[in-house]
Structure 1
Amino acid sequence: MTLTADDCLAAEVAIHRTWLQHASNALDQCIRGAVPFSADTVRALIPDGVEPHHPNALSSLFRAASGAKRIIAIGYTQPGRTSRHGNPNRIWIKGPAA
């Protein structure tokens, strides 16, 4: 079987849709949990091997949820991933529009 450029593009898009679906579901689960959470919490709920198209994709998801008042920042925590280079992660809780 020979893959066309369209086949490759479709496969690439499908991967990203899968990540967005998993990430959105994970964020919704954290919001429903009604306890403080961070990006590390959401990331831990996304299955291994499901990766975003860009390293900042998760922060974009949080930005959209914050703008829609689904989540509210209440503080900071140290990240669990070394790739964050010690930069703090925000701690979030369920917002009034959740």
Structure 2
Amino acid sequence: MKILAAGYGTVPPVEALYNSPIWTDLPGPPYDNRIFAEAIQYGAMNPTSIPADVQAVVDAELTKAEEAVVLNNVPVADALKAAETVINEAMARVMAAGG
């Protein structure tokens, strides 16, 4: 963790480490790393909400949406709507299979 923290590459994985000097005493910027740990309290852990079998679909569809917007001037809402449709279909398949 110390190596990752030194490059600001991680937030401590457990609450007991949130106030660890390994994390909080890094040179800035940023000068107050606690905000990252505090932000976790308001989020949802991704692995519990997106099945592993669907994550590759999510990644591919978001990349495709980004490319459509940047390269083809597709409106963001349209690109995301297309991605949402494919991702929802993948979720439905996985859930129907007991996923």
TM-score, length basis structure 2: 0.31
Q: Which has the higher strand share?
A: 1
Task: From the CA coordinates, give the structure whose radius of gyration is larger.
Answer: 2
Q: Which has the higher helix share?
A: 2
Greater RCO, 1 or 2 (C-alpha within 8 Å, sep 6+): 1
